[in-house]
Chains A and B, each alone.
Chain A
Amino acid sequence: MEHGLACSFASEAAGGLADRVEEAAAAAEAAGLSSWWSLGEREVVADRSFDPVLGLQCVARATSRLRIGLSGELLAVQPAAVRAKQIASLDFFGGGRVELGLDLADPPPELVDPEHDDADHLGRALERLDAMSALWTMPRAAHAGERFAFHGASALPRPVGGRVPTVHLRGASAEVLRRYVSVIGTPAGRLAWRETPDELAAGQALVTDVLGAAADDVRHTWFVDPDALDGARRAVAGGDVRVDELVVVLDHVPSTDEVAALAPVTA
């Protein structure tokens, strides 16, 4: 099982955000962690913290191995071409280490673009992912959807290797998962966001129910708060749940000492 860290890019003092993030990220990599995740968009709104993509750029700058993840990307709130460019650029700075955790539930109203207030947020999100995939993989990209279209578009840089970054779905319901599969395909992973062991097991059963045998290839990443870490480790060790990666969620950018203190437990 791999171990990772997710944190808020919250402001604690004037200046020095880049220094703090870079120092902590370098320490996390040195401590043997496998990944660094931003919080999801809805958590960022709730804690009024800084932008996750720009925060992760600091992580990318200071590391060479850590996987870099957005844990709750709301595709319903950003135009596909804008977000495709931002994610491809982050992947450039990260040397091909970016992964996407998609939150396909309805977005918080305060994030919804008034120009694109779509009753079917999921439909718009899936259309955008389809368009982003085209921009990321096709030299002259084309998209013809219900809401927008383009053809002959060159959107460089594309993600390293011309790939679609690994996509994880965060806590999707059966309905959402089925619709995702019908439009996009099988997701590479599932993110269990602050779920209890019982919720995690139920989520994994849901994935199996919808995907069948393909569920065996789905990666499971479990995000837990620090006070739930011991219980999560016991649940994994006891075989109650199948987890590929355990990620500790922090509400601030950790100091190097905090990262070091996490390392013996998590790495």
Chain B
Amino acid sequence: MSPDDAATTSSTDNTDSTDSTEKRSAVEIGLVDLFDGGARRDPGFMATFARTAEELGFSGIWVPEHLMFFDEYSSAYPYPNHPSADDPDRLESHNKTVGGTAQVEAADDQGLLDVLQTAAELCRATTRLRVGASVMILPIRNPRTLPRELATLAELTAGRFDLGVGVGWASEEVEACESVFKTRGRRTTAYLHDLTERWGEGVDSVGHPVPRLLVAGHSPAALRRAATAATGWYPYNLTISEFTEHHATYCRLLEEAGRDRSEQHAVAGVRFTGDLTALRGFVERYAEAGADGVNISLRLDDDGYADTMAEVSDVLNLAVAA
């Protein structure tokens, strides 16, 4: 795909959708980005970044979690391919591989601030914007202290934090965090049940409900976990066909569990590297496939992020109802 091709396609999309350009998409649009604890992205930058996103109509900012990075992994990064901008049913890959093993997309000496403190800081600078974990590695946490941390965050953010959770894909990281890699799925399911059933224990919280709990991944185990132990599903880098297929499974599992799909939240997370004008059709495809939200990872740069956010907001008409 050339940039010219993308521009032509998206231009056609916009002109064919005159009516819908006048109203805001019903799909929640989140930005996946990271705050590394470096000098450029200091607390002042974080506040301005969050306010800009809020003012431009984005629903949320979602921040990833890693406790550490390694130069090379023997564990394969599970999401090296992402849907193409001009055809989200086709996959592209930009991640490097080492010895045939896909590696995570991260800068050299990549930093990441604690996800809960990042959420507190971003919410402190805003009034409406939601902040989510994209995603917390749940099985390495102490289930006895995490509820207190989440209750505190709910208090500090007025309930604007969403907890995306994953089992952790890197055995190097999970084991360095003193956890058994093989049993991480079992622990994740148990901790999700605990969070819901024991919410409010141990802290005199004041009325915020348990955060929205979204399970990452699309394996059979992840789908079952999402349908039975969480309140949402958060797959990453699925094509439209894959999303549609797994969403159908998710809905079936919800029904088997006696749960109502309308009370759950399905968010499609995607790495997007194409022409931004293609986003409109791109997002609409996921919405049509059943997504309640689309979280877009653009890897915004320090200097030009506001312009990029504004362009995305314009393409998706986010500011209309903001």
Contact = CB atoms under 8 A, between A and B. Distances in A.
Contacts of B112: 85, 156
B161 to A, nearest CB: 11
B190 to A, nearest CB: 10
Given A77-B144, A156-B112, A157-B113, A14 B207 contact: yes
Interface string B182-208: 000001000000000000001111110
Contact of B178 (A15, A57, A147): A147
B188 to A, nearest CB: 12
A250 interface: no
A135 B43 CA distance: 23
B140 interface: yes
B110 A154 contact: yes
A85 B67 contact: yes
Interface in B167-187: 172, 175-180, 187
B204 A10 contact: yes
B253 interface: no
A113 B152 contact: no
A120 interface: no
Given A15-B206, A54-B116, A152 B37 contact: no
B265 to A, nearest CB: 24
Most buried by B among A9, A55, A93, A140: A93
Given A79-B142, A81-B67, A148 B121 contact: no
Interface stretch (B22-30, B54-62, B68-76, B303-311): B68-76
Most buried by B among A15, A81, A148: A81
A154 B144 contact: no
Contact of B70 (A112, A154, A157): A154
A115 B206 contact: no
Contacts of A150: 68, 172, 175-176
A11 B206 contact: yes
B145 interface: yes
A71 to B, nearest CB: 17
B285 to A, nearest CB: 36
Contacts of B202: 45, 48, 110
A106 to B, nearest CB: 15
Interface string A25-61: 0000000000000000000110011110111011001
A157 B203 contact: no
B71 A152 contact: yes
Contacts of B209: none
A54 B180 CA distance: 28
Contacts of A116: 142, 178
A50 B151 contact: yes
A82 interface: yes
A137 interface: no
A9 B148 CA distance: 12
A78 B142 contact: yes
Interface string A104-119: 0000001111111000
A9 B109 CA distance: 35
B186 to A, nearest CB: 11
A113 B144 CA distance: 6
Q: Would you call the interface of chain B mostly helix, strand, loop, or mixed?
A: loop
Nearest to A156: B111
B140 A50 contact: no
A152 B203 CA distance: 38
B117 A15 contact: no
Contacts of A93: 43, 117, 121
B315 to A, nearest CB: 33
A62 B147 CA distance: 26
B144 A152 contact: no
B220 interface: no
Nearest to A92: B37
B48 to A, nearest CB: 15
A62 B140 CA distance: 31
A114 B112 CA distance: 28
B78 interface: no
A157 B36 CA distance: 7
B201 to A, nearest CB: 9
Interface of A: 9-11, 13-15, 17-18, 44-45, 48-51, 53-55, 57-58, 61, 77-82, 84-86, 88-90, 92-93, 110-116, 135, 139-141, 147-150, 152-157
24 contacts: A11-B203, A11-B204, A13-B206, A54-B149, A58-B156, A61-B43, A77-B144, A81-B67, A81-B176, A82-B140, A85-B112, A110-B202, A114-B144, A115-B187, A116-B142, A116-B178, A148-B175, A152-B70, A154-B68, A154-B71, A154-B109, A156-B36, A156-B111, A157-B36
Given A18-B156, A111-B142, A154-B109, 10 more contacts: A9-B152, A14-B207, A49-B204, A51-B149, A54-B153, A78-B145, A82-B67, A152-B70, A153-B68, A156-B111
Interface of B: 36-38, 43, 67-71, 109-114, 116-118, 120-121, 124, 140-145, 148-149, 151-153, 155-156, 158, 172, 175-180, 187, 202-207
